[in-house]
């Protein structure tokens, strides 16, 4: 797993030396594999079988989440692209859409992507 962190708003003078320590103490009851399964179940139950979960990344917020890309993959064309993300709680397994989008917006994005690729 690739580990990344982003810190914005810091101005460093040239030839600075930075020492950074990040420590997180949290239970992780849901693995990336299980998070992907839960994401696929959520998608099938909510919108059908043309959306599928991609590879999760661990996302650190007020709690730990797995951020799972939602791929639009109609059966005849295969995977066309990512239309949104799900957040799966790493402790409880609860799923919800990320970035404040709704199911309707998610499906609109899939329709737009489909229209672009079938022209």
pLDDT digits (tens, 9 = 90+) for 26-68: 788 899 999 999 999 999 999 888 899 999 999 887 789 999 9
Pairwise pLDDT comparison (10 vs 41), residue with the higher score: 41
Please enumerate, as own/partner, the contacts of 113-117 that have beta carbons within 8 Å and a separation of 24 or more.
Answer: 113/72, 113/80, 113/81, 113/83, 114/72, 114/74, 114/77, 114/80, 117/77, 117/80
As a whole number, mean pLDDT of residues 79-87 equals: 87
Whole-number average pLDDT of the chain:
85
**Contact yes or no for 84/99 (Cβ under 8 A):** yes
pLDDT at 3 over 60: no
pLDDT of amino acid 32: 93
**∠ CA 70-73-79 to the nearest 5 degrees?**
90
pTM flag (> 0.85): no
pLDDT at 115 over 60: yes
| Cα 31 to Cα 56: distance, rounded to the nearest angstrom | 9
12 pLDDT tier (thresholds 50, 70, 90): confident
4 pLDDT tier (thresholds 50, 70, 90): low
pLDDT at 94 over 50: yes
pLDDT of amino acid 1: 45
């Amino acid at each position: 797993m690739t580990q990344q962190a982003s810190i914005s708003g810091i101005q460093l003078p040239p030839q600075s030396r930075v020492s950074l320590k990040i420590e997180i103490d949290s239970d992780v009851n849901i693995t990336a594999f299980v998070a992907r399964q839960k994401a696929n179940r959520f998608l099938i139950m909510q919108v059908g079988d043309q959306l599928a979960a991609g590879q999760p990344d661990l996302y650190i917020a007020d709690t730990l989440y797995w951020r799972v890309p939602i791929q639009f993959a109609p059966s005849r064309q295969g995977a066309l692209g990512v239309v949104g993300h799900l957040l799966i709680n790493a402790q409880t397994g609860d799923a919800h859409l990320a970035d404040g989008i709704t199911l309707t917006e998610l499906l609109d994005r899939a329709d737009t992507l489909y229209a672009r690729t079938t022209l």
